[in-house]
Structure 1
Amino acid sequence: MNFLKMIYSKWIRQELSGWNSFRKTAYLILPLLIYFLVHDAVEILLWAALDRILAVAGAGLKDFLAGNADTVKGSINGLAILAGVAALWPALWREVAGDGRGAVKGGSCEKEIPQGRKTANMPALVNHYVALAVLAVFSAFGLNLLFHVTGLIAKSSSYGAVSQAQYGVAFWAGLLLYGILSPFAEEAVFRGLIYNRMKRCFGVSLGMAVSAFLFGCYHGNMVQGIYGTLLGLVIAWVYEKYRSFAAPVLFHSLANISVYVFTYYGSLFKMGRAAGIGAMAAFFTGALFCLQYIRKNVGSMEPSKSIAGRQ
């Protein structure tokens, strides 16, 4: 079998069942490795190009870049992220092209919604995505406050170094990088590719668990690792309920933006322990209400029948 065809095609469950463990592992993990290789290669090339520019640049440009070092670093990382996703785009498109079949129950996500009924279901669809947005923000705030009141954030030097770099960029650059580029790229890899493929190979539950665990490990420090794993489970569940790749991207984006804005201006972690516990409880309670609403009104956890063909 052609190697690129194996990696970039969407194989159905019946075909995957005949594969050996090595081929399945390659099919599942190589997209992540391809993303890292392309991302890192482009990042190295961009830094080399910047070094060449600085070698002939005037003092004004050097001073400007030195004064905005974190923003420059973030911008280069953003371009490398785009390159990594571009390398996986054909595979991603084949995985998610059948998504968006309608997330309205009463309505019903279990059946494809006819084109003529989509407008009639629009109010319900809006309600469902409002619930998604609130769930994203409340979950993100609740988990961050949990780590704050338990002292995990204060005790983690590795998280402190990462956080300092993240919040050292210009505000607009941070919104673009952490609110749009990173969420899309990470969802493309961990939900669009890894989760969808894990689900066809091993089922929904294991797919959720493994994709969330890998997502947590990807962040490279304990605080963000735990946060990423827990949030990754919720995001995969949301993806399965809404049946649209837009749902996990929107969830991830709103979670990042909300925490980024409040943390950037220093207001999220200034409250005392008692106030933090109260706020955390309120956010988690609100998130549970949203989860219950989504569980009752949005989608189905049954495997989609319309993916049963290789694209």
Structure 2
Amino acid sequence: MVKGYSGIKKELPNGESWCTELFRVGGHEYSIEYYPNGANPNCADSISLDITHLYDEYVEEGVEAKFSFSLVDDVEKQMPTYIRATRKTHDFRRCDLWGCDKFMREAALERSASLKSDCFTIRCDIVVCKDNTPDAIGSGTGTEMHQHFSDLLRNKVGADVTFEVGGKTFAAHRCVLAARSEVFMAHLFGTATSNVIHITNMETKVFRALLCFIYTDSSPEMEDIMEEEVAEPTQEEAVEDEMLLQWLQDLFVAVDRYNLQRLKFICEKQLCEHVGVSSVVSTLALAEQHHRHGLKEACLKFIQVLSPSCLQTLMATDGWHIATTYPSVLYELIAMLASNQRK
């Protein structure tokens, strides 16, 4: 738990960290380094997290592991509300420190329900994929199931169905898709009459993210997906934010279409964290369309505290015209703004 968030943020400048006590996983000791103002100048507006494996000079071989960081929300019974997971296995002998430079924007944390009484809790999950230390060799510790399914998706061995999405093809396995989604189950073992299925109204990067989650049960990272979609990714922060938001919104629609409940939950939480003046109304319309009351409430609360100038900017966005096509949303917006005027 990080106690006294605001004080630590003032005390530690960009590049400096606060370290947790050591904890043990699979017979090895680790700690988390927390950078309240980012680990380097490229992420100065974000929280950075690193996981450090305690070096043992008597052990020649190291540990290969995956890890994820998330926030623990006590209100929601410690379900992860913001997940940064790695699908790659990291060798902790070759480098004893791995992490996430942009775990979460500081502004997003400060308006998050996870920050309570100037405190929040970071959860770190570690999966040991390969332990090369003498005590572990032959013991069979750890699980590689997610990696095996990821390899299966990548090497396409045994694939028996092909999806065509936006001019690209994706090979997959009917049984895996059906086991993960009742929508795929009904289609692939019911109505489908061909081994080639055309998917419309969906971008390739969104379908790629869907498949990644279905096979690995890991939250897909936009950066990893976009590496295969964009030849020269831009470094402009505003453009990156816009791309991330659009990707999250499109992914949210797709997971609702295929009824992937856990990924829907993850997308909804991340959309709540990325609410902004330019995006809040389009996200609000999305929440209304898909009956996501928590996301809708987060958007309305954000709008409620906007200044008059920000409200004018908001009403000039394209999303405003979309949202006002929903009578219930328009009524709630008018009632809320009228209430603000009376205060």
TM-score by length of 1: 0.27
Which of structures 1 and 2 has the bigger CA Rg?
2
Q: Which has the higher contact order (CA 8 A, sep 6+)?
A: 1
Greater helix share, structure number: 1
